[in-house]
Amino acid sequence: MIVQEEQMLKSIYELKKRLGEAKHESGSKAGRSIADHLTNVAFTSYLLAQYLYSRNVLDDRHVTLAFYAGLLHDMNKILSRSLRQSSSLEEIKEVLNSLGVSESDLFVQENLQIIQMCVSLHQETGLVGMELLFNREEKFDKKVKILTKVIKFADKFDNFSNADLEKDRRLKESCESVLREIQTLSDGKFDRTTLFHVVLKEYRGMLTELIFEVLNDLLIEKHDLFPIARFPNGLVYLSKGDQREEPLEHLIFELSQRFLDHEGIARAIFQDSVTFESTGVRLSSSAFEMKFNRLIDKLLMISISKKDKFNEKAIFIEGLQRICEELYRNGGSHRDSIKEKFKLLAGFNLGQKSKSQVLQEKYETISRLSPFVNSSESLEDFAKRCVSELTDLYEKRSKRNLKTYLERYLTINLSVCGYNIVEQYTKEFVRSFRRYGPHKYTCSICGTSGEDEVVEAESAETPSLKVQMFTNRGPAHKRMDPKRHVCQYCRLQFLATKAKGLNYSDSQIVFVLLPENYYPDSFLRAMEEQVKKELNGTSNESSQPAMSDVIVSLFKKGKKKEQLKIIFGNMVYIPIPVSGNDLQKWKSLSAMAAISALRIRHRIPVRVLVTKDVQLLQDDIEFDENIWVKDAGVFAKKILLNRGVWRQFGEYLQDTNLRDYLFEFLSQPTDLDVAAVVVKRWEDFKPMAIAPSLFKIFGGDRVEEIRKMAELARRWAFRRSSESKPTEYQYTKPFLDAIKSVRKFDPKTEDEEVLEALIFESVSRSTDSQNEAKEFADAFLSFLKRIGEGNLINGRETLILNYAKYRNLFLGTIKLLVYESTTSKKSKEV
Ligand SMILES: [Zn+2]
């Protein structure tokens, strides 16, 4: 019996739907989401069982059972009943069914019993009867006993809220003791009884993601560790007790090397190293991070790509000149050799330059000066000659800054099993701000300061971010000096962002999903597959549209099937391009983002950050609520204050309708106008409760006089109506009659008393009770005064001008009263 990860993911979504935002009420997990806890335990159990299977301790079916036992281990919380009542085989079967599990193998009596055992015995204080049964019945072998320990471990382990396990040594010890129990039960076949953990102290978007990615591979491949959980701030592994870590310095050295060799980083550096701009060949500072032959290759590519416009040999010579100038600058005692080599290759002196800024003239000058340009030697051969002549000097004089700074960064931020090199973090912190202030020494993004760490930002190195877009002095978008300075760590972060294919763009919103769960790699891949499949329209099951599909349709009207880029890592990044028309309206964009975030949160147990910035820092991911929309507009804030309603609203209107409705709301001048629109659309919203809730959110129920009049009108309508349910017209008749009389009234010739009389007269037509008619008329007058800001005549005009709005508000209040009376009747019946 092997259940696919995809199926398991669906079970998680279903469970999440079933439990919603229910929280643990007491105990060590108080305040935490039950669904998240169950999911975590399922993941951890699954991973541990998988490892035990690979060591021949468990069978393959136990891996699936571990997952489902983990997911169901708190049956009492799922069913809100006592453990004894809620762990019968029937109940387990029912819950599995409700999670959409279709594998019949799982429902075999024996398997259900195994799940039942795990549910009952995962705690020290399991059911006594079960324990006896367990020991008596022979059909439960040792494997099942081990499985209950697996669940027990996972349950305990989920008390950690981040990867820094050293913060709770007792808990760590307690988890490890369960691992040792498994070791004993498996006769030593299982020997990973120690928890190994790595933590990065600060978060820096893609830099952190990439470090974790490379580090994870390194630890698994080279250090034989088994991954068991991932947190936003670190990774946890199972290790063999006797495994002594090598010195941290070695790990950092190796990690830095692998990081810079990472395909994406190497590509990002290569891409940026040499560019051709309006001023000619330009080298970025990362050019000198590469090996010389790679740099020459890139220069060769650039030169050839421009040969239709200019002489490619001349372009190459210009590039060579730039390289040698830079080497000369750092040349020290090698300066003369560098000069000589250049003269030898190019045929003229290093300092000699064309005065013209016009490219055509510049390359003509170079062609005149350099014999190579007019020689028959091919550019490729010449490039080879350059490599052999200059490599030595280049190796001596070029500075590999990135590696140095990456090592320094890791030295400060990486801790392994609670150990880190820089013990005095505060001291390091103070040091990094020692020159804070002067723009030349202060990073304009993160504030790090120091003489050597901060360099001029280069457009070529940033992932399509215009350097002019940020500054530490003067207004944003200022296109002049001072030059923008960034620290080497931000520079590394730029490169990592590029390497991961994430771009800065004004026209995109980025959803960052911060997992509350330990999503194992295989599940991340399953999730990725699922999302991709549905995006490309190849998914055949349509019970639930893919989340990304839903989001895309919201942001990109009519473009459902567009391939969406999703970057999976410790956190998941979903950049969403926004169409031109919506761009300016952050108010509406942030509202759509807020609704999307609610839906994401409902489907996947993650915290959601919505931002336009991709250069994330630690501050950005530290937020209290589960959803954070950066710089949210007023409307978005309103949405986030009433999450349940808006989520349902978003969930029900899954297609472009949602967009239209939202825009209709957003274009209203005041909250009351929105409430009136809600009334207009009352019947469109399902489930039933949404319309009344929205109406209330926008204050539709808070106009006292309307409420008073609506109560009366409702009573009258019931009295008059022969059928049980009065029509809309019957409900609103007294209000409409009163408005008619207001229209009739002529403020030029008649005074207020006449108006009062007119209203009373018109209202009296709807009721026999003089007293009630008077009450209604008084409320109406007071209402007129309110909307006229104390003046009856102004109120009259406002009412006539906004007739539809107030009529809708009145009708809405009646609908609300009807709705409230039916629901309270229902709840009384129950
Ligand atoms: Zn910085």
pLDDT per residue over 678-734, tens digit each?
999 888 877 788 899 999 999 999 999 999 999 999 988 888 776 667 888 888 999
Distance from the alpha carbon of residue 252 to the mean position of ligand 1, in angstroms? 21
pLDDT of residue 445 exceeding 90, the answer is no
Q: How far is the CA of 67 from the centre of ligand 1 (A)?
A: 42
d(CA 556, CA 539): 21
List, as ranges, residues with CB under 5 A of the ion ligand 1.
443, 445-446, 448, 487, 490
Per the CB < 8 A criterion, the answer to whether 711 and 785 are in contact is no
Is the Cβ–Cβ distance between 204 and 495 less than 8 Å? no
Centre of ligand 1 to C-alpha 256, Å, is 19
pLDDT score for 304: 95
Ligand 1 mean position, distance from CA 442 (Å): 8
**What's the CA gap between 702 and 154, in Å, rounded?**
50
The whole-chain average pLDDT of the chain stands at 83
Rounded average pLDDT over 813-824: 88
What's the gap in Å between 408 CA and the centre of ligand 1? Answer: 14
pLDDT band for position 246 (cuts 50, 70, 90): low
| Residue the block writes with tokens 């200059």 | 390
Q: Is the pLDDT of residue 139 over 90?
A: no
Query: What pLDDT band is residue 464 in, cutting at 50, 70 and 90?
Result: low
Q: How far is the CA of 617 from the centre of ligand 1 (A)?
A: 9
Q: Flag whether pLDDT at 557 surpasses 60.
A: no
Q: One-letter amino acid identity for 51?
A: Y
Asked whether residue 7 carries a pLDDT value surpassing 90, the answer given is no
Q: Which residue has the tokens 């049956």?
A: 75
| Centroid of ligand 1 to alpha carbon of 454 (angstroms) | 8
Cα–Cα nearest to 516, from 572, 598, 566: 572
Task: Give the pLDDT band (50/70/90) at residue 316.
Answer: very high
Structure tokens at 520: 């194992």
Segment 662-689, tens digit of pLDDT: 888 888 889 999 999 999 988 887 778 8
Residue position matching structure tokens 């915290």: 607
C-alpha 632 – ligand 1 centre gap (Å)? 25
Q: Which residue has the tokens 């609506």?
A: 710
Q: How far is the CA of 453 from the centre of ligand 1 (A)?
A: 9
What distance in angstroms lies between residue 63's CA and the mean position of ligand 1's atoms? 45
| Per-residue tokens: 623 | 């937020």
Residue 455 C-alpha to ligand 1 middle, in angstroms? Answer: 10
> For the CA atoms of 584, 590, 593, 597, what is the dihedral angle to 10 degrees?
160
The mean per-residue pLDDT over the stretch 208-233 comes to 91
What is the maximal distance between C-alpha atoms in the chain?
113
608 pLDDT higher than 50? yes
The Å distance, Cα 498 to ligand 1 centre, comes to 16
Share of the chain above pLDDT 90, in %: 35
pLDDT at 479 over 50: no
Enumerate residues 6+ apart whose C-beta is below 8 A from 709: 734, 735, 776, 779, 780, 783, 810
Expressed in angstroms and rounded, the spacing between residue 430 Cα and the centre of ligand 1 is 15
Query: 230: which strand partners?
Result: 235
Confidence of residue 306 (pLDDT cuts 50, 70, 90): very high
Q: Ligand 1 mean position to 207 CA, how many Å?
A: 12
Question: Which tens digits make up the pLDDT trace of 767-811?
Answer: 888 899 999 999 999 999 999 998 888 899 999 999 999 999 999
Span from the CA of 476 to the centroid of ligand 1 (angstroms): 17
Residue 536 has pLDDT above 70, yes or no: no
- Residue 53: predicted pLDDT: 95
For residue 477, the model assigns a pLDDT of 46
Ligand 1 centroid – CA 397 distance (Å):
26
Mean pLDDT of 170-189: 94
Which pLDDT score, from 0 to 100, does residue 735 have?
Answer: 93
Give the pLDDT confidence score for residue 600 in this predicted structure.
78
Computed from CA positions of residues 534, 537, 538, 540, in that sequence, does the dihedral angle turn out positive or negative?
A: positive
Instruction: Give me ligand 1 centre to Cα 775, in Å.
Output: 68
Per-residue pLDDT reduced to its tens digit, 86-107: 778 888 899 899 988 888 888 8
815 falls in which pLDDT band (50, 70, 90)?
A: very high
- Could you report the per-residue pLDDT of 612-647, keeping only the tens digit for each? 888 888 888 888 888 999 888 888 999 999 888 888
Give distance in angstroms: CA of 204 to centre of ligand 1: 10
User: Ligand 1 centroid to 283 CA: how many Å?
Assistant: 22
Q: What is the mean pLDDT of residues 61-76?
A: 91
| Ligand 1 centroid from CA 561, angstroms | 38
Angle at 347 between CA 342 and CA 352, to 5 degrees: 75
Distance (Å) from CA 489 to ligand 1 centroid: 6
> What pLDDT, on a 0 to 100 scale, did the predictor assign at position 590?
87
Separation of 733 CA from ligand 1 center, angstroms?
67
Query: What does the pLDDT read at residue 542?
Result: 43
Res 463 pLDDT > 70? no
45-70 average pLDDT score: 93
Going by pLDDT thresholds of 50, 70 and 90, the confidence category of residue 540 is: very low
Report the pLDDT value the prediction gives residue 476, as an integer from 0 to 100: 46
| Model pLDDT, residue 628 | 93
Q: In terms of DSSP H, where are the helices of 656-703? A: 656-666, 671-680, 690-697
Give residue 538's pLDDT.
Answer: 43
Distance 446 CA to ligand 1 centre (A): 4
* Ligand 1 geometric centre to CA of 325 (Å): 28
Average pLDDT of span 564-590: 76
Q: How far, in Å, from the CA of 128 to the mean position of ligand 1?
A: 59
